[in-house]
Amino acid sequence: MDPEKLGARRRNPGIIEPVFGRKPKEPPEGYVDDGVVPGSVGPLKYDGAVFARALELIVENKPGLAGGRFSSIQGRYEAIRGQADALMADLIEKFETRTGFDKPGRADLSNLVREAFGENTGDAAAKALAQAWSGTAEHLRLMYNAAGGSIGRIENWGLPQAHDAHAVRKAGRQKWVEFVTPRLDLAKMIDETTGRPFTPQALVRALNDVFDTISTNGLNMPLKNDGEGLSALARRRADSRFLMFRSADDWMAYQQSFGDADPFSVMLGHADEIARDIATMQVLGPNPAAQWKWLVRTAKAEAAKEEAAGVVGAIDKAEGNVVTANNMLGHFGGELQRPVSGWIAQLGASTRNLATAAKLGSALLSDIPTAGIYGAYARKFVGLSTSGDMTRLVNLLNPADGSGRQTARRSGFIIETASDGLIRSTNDNLRLMTVGERLDGGFNAFTRRMPTAMLRVTGLTAWDAARKRSFQAEFMGALHDRRGKTIADLASGDTEDKAFAGWLKARGFTDQDWASIRAAPVWEPRPGAQFLRPMDIPDQELALRLAEAITTETKMAVPQGTLWSKAKLVGAERPGTVWGELRRNWAQFRSFNLTATSLWVEEMALRGQKGGMTPLVGTAAHLAPLMFYLTVGGALAIQLREITKGNDPKPMNEPRFWAAAMLQGGGLGVLADAIFASEARAGKSSQAAAFGAVGQMAADAYDLTAGNAVEISEGQRKGKTLGEATEGANIGRDASKFVRSWTPGNSIWWARAAWNRAVMDNLQRLLDPEAEDDFERQRKRMKRENGQEQWWGVGTSAPERAPDLSNAIAPAA
């Protein structure tokens, strides 16, 4: 898409049909009313607070029948970021991190930086990559201005600045100003109060203001009467480019001392942040905070009118929806992820990172058996074929053939694996971590890399990305294959065509929209592979709407954490407080469960109601087959995990196995484990497990330290010597179990049994004089409680035999 053709900002027409028979009061002067009015958000008859519920969907739309026909902030951000990633595909492919740690050569990007600043290095590859970056940045600048922003064009602008508030504060005002001043290109810096270059005195005042803004994270900005900062979102990006450096070397020197020394991260970070700003302005206008306040007031007013008309509970429902929507918006913009106390936030994030690296090594085995079930249902709902899905998935996963992944990177959807392993669901603060925090908290800098590396090494990152890309490719293929049919033709066609037509209507695409989509040029990345790519549609707004709709629907095929689930689990608690960290510890690993459960239950209720059933009957009728398939998938996941531990499969002739399989299939693996033992994962009580992985870690740490101290003290009180009391406390065994449970990477599925037998068992022998007796007790307990034996027994140096698969059906006596 040609960024020069973006033109001036275009306001969207109203896109939600009124359900109250009238529109709310017109917004004040300067506000926008681009369709965000009360309306039908799906076929389900929601009782009251319809507008307030729509606020949640304005922040983040839902897939399936529960979604609205309008654009959401999160969805629009994903569509815009997808376009940017496609434009930067060559750059991302060259420097994308594949292990979670820096790729060799990634830190040495000086030639690329120099080319970006207009210097001729003679490096053709660096020049091409710099052009890809410059084209993407210009595309985003024009989109930003078209949305109502104001960023001027600067020749040889170079790269954005990533300011580190901690490092700036630590240096102090005078040192920072003295460092920056000789490196600035004053000819490019214009004093807005005079329209001319800065005088020395004016420059000092301006730099002092910049220092205050950076060091206080903008809290020094004056306030208007309504509490909003004078610097609206439409001006934010222009403010961030105030400092203009003379050369690439000056920019690199500043980033090394007061920013981010990795240009690749700076470029991706800039694209991510400006995409968020563009999305927010496109949905809410150039002053989104004021616009949002008006929407909230209107939603509450409409709820009050509903309750006055006899809708009981409308006001209370609206209050709950507003709180959730506000929290969703706060998490999207980052306001609710800004730490209150840096060291508390770092400690909490580091602990969760360690827990993730230790506990999710076998998550792939839990996902594979159920992934096809979610994908098949999601494809059926929108009229996509599942026949070629496995072939495309294998191609995307094939390490020897990167053509499928190269095509996916240019498709116009987010390349999630590019952002330095940006796994947001397991890294609450990654986007806010800065150079200063890394210098002060090196351990945190190390731990935040570990989950990314572990998820990549186990194959989960590649698997998750392949599933999303496969679904999106299937969707683009379906758009191409149906370009010869009108919506009416589709609606009278076969089952798949009817479902596809229903999806188009549910997402608000009109006959005219579909005609424009069908007229887009065919994208053929390789012979015979023909797609209709949203970003090739000339109408920018329509292109973004289509990309957003496909991306949102992908979340039905590949359930993932959402802003809604984060708002429900974490609320408005910021990191860096005791309660905020406790909430995040409790929420860890629960986001998927909450999202998948709520999304699919609601979808099945809607489909049942669409067929004339009551919500309860419809949910049961449509959910029962899904739960059956998920239970079978959960059973397979349990057995795969047992085998990788060195155990034979669990007997499947017991009700508790199928209860655990049902929970496992729904993503509740902790509860599935609890069914099989009086102790939950890592050998701790279910009470500790209720507080999440960090709660288990804390319980283990307590047993190892204070618990043993109490036991030793109790032994001495009973007359034992210190040596006798210490020996009876089994400190060595507790220490070895703690290391076994919490060593990052200990649960990697393809190395789990070998690691435990070769390393951890021998460590226990070194620390625990009664290790062999403990090994024997473990074997007997497993046989007695679970009806299992081991194909690679605990305490043995090599496998004794192959896994006994027959134990699943006919367990030995």
Is residue 312 a part of any domain in this protein?
A: no
Backbone angles phi, psi at 530, to 5 degrees: -115, 130
CA 350 to chain centre: 18
- What's the pLDDT tens digit per position in 773-793? 999 999 999 999 889 999 999
Backbone angles phi, psi at 664, to 5 degrees: -65, -45
Report the alpha-carbon distance of residue 311 to residue 305 in Å, rounded: 9
Q: Give 223's strand partners.
A: 229
Residue 310 has what pLDDT?
A: 85
Gyration radius from the chain CA atoms: 29
Residue 803 has what pLDDT?
A: 95
Quick one: tokens of 294? 């008006």
Side-chain half-sphere CA neighbours of 731 within 13 A: 13
Residue 570 has what pLDDT?
A: 95
- What's the pLDDT tens digit per position in 111-151? 999 999 989 998 888 888 889 999 999 999 999 999 988 88
What average pLDDT does range 678-698 have in this prediction? 63
Please say if the pLDDT value at position 350 is more than 50.
yes
Report the alpha-carbon distance of residue 594 to residue 349 in Å, rounded: 21
Report the alpha-carbon distance of residue 238 to residue 234 in Å, rounded: 8
Q: What is the DSSP string of 409-471?
A: HTTTS--TTTTTS--GGG-TTGGG--HHHHHH-HHHHHHTTHHHHHHHHTTHHHHHHHHHHHH
Contacts with 92 (C-beta within 8 Å, 6 or more apart), sequence order: 85, 268, 409, 415, 418
Is residue 499 a part of any domain in this protein?
A: yes
Is residue 490 a part of any domain in this protein?
A: yes
Please say if the pLDDT value at position 375 is more than 50.
yes
Is residue 310 a part of any domain in this protein?
A: no
Please say if the pLDDT value at position 587 is more than 50.
yes
Give per-residue burial for 404-434: e unless 16+ CB within 10 Å, then b.
Answer: bbebbbbbbbbbbbbbbbbbbbbbbbbeebb
Length of the chain: 813
Residue 240 has what pLDDT?
A: 54
- What's the pLDDT tens digit per position in 249-263? 999 999 989 987 678
Q: Which of 45, 38, 49 is nearest to 319 (CA)?
A: 49
Please say if the pLDDT value at position 589 is more than 60.
yes
Our count of domains for the chain comes to 1
CB atoms within 10 A of CB 787: 18
Residue 616 has what pLDDT?
A: 81
Report the alpha-carbon distance of residue 464 to residue 629 in Å, rounded: 20
Is residue 494 a part of any domain in this protein?
A: yes
How sure is the predictor about 402, in pLDDT bands with cuts at 50, 70 and 90? low
| Range of 89-98, 99-108, 369-378, 640-649 with top mean pLDDT | 640-649
Residue 390 has what pLDDT?
A: 61
What average pLDDT does range 305-324 have in this prediction? 90
Residue 91 has what pLDDT?
A: 76
- Give the torsion through C-alpha atoms of 493, 498, 500, 503, to 10 deg: 150
Contacts with 77 (C-beta within 8 Å, 6 or more apart), sequence order: 275, 276, 278, 279, 280, 332
Residue 180 has what pLDDT?
A: 94
Task: Return mean pLDDT, the chain.
Answer: 81
> Is there a contact between 586 and 692 (Cβ–Cβ < 8 Å)?
yes
Residue carrying the six token digits 């023909």: 530
Residue 391 has what pLDDT?
A: 64
Residue 431 has what pLDDT?
A: 35
- What's the pLDDT tens digit per position in 631-671? 999 999 999 999 999 999 999 999 999 999 998 887 655 55
Please say if the pLDDT value at position 601 is more than 80.
yes
How sure is the predictor about 99, in pLDDT bands with cuts at 50, 70 and 90? very low
> Is there a contact between 668 and 681 (Cβ–Cβ < 8 Å)?
no
Domain interval for residue 541:
340-558
Side-chain half-sphere CA neighbours of 796 within 13 A: 15
Please say if the pLDDT value at position 41 is more than 80.
no
Residue 591 has what pLDDT?
A: 84
Is residue 691 a part of any domain in this protein?
A: no
Is residue 515 a part of any domain in this protein?
A: yes
Is residue 402 a part of any domain in this protein?
A: yes
**Residue with the larger pLDDT of the pair 227 and 185:** 185
Report the alpha-carbon distance of residue 260 to residue 106 in Å, rounded: 13
What average pLDDT does range 50-66 have in this prediction? 90
The model's pTM is: 0.86
Please say if the pLDDT value at position 443 is more than 70.
no
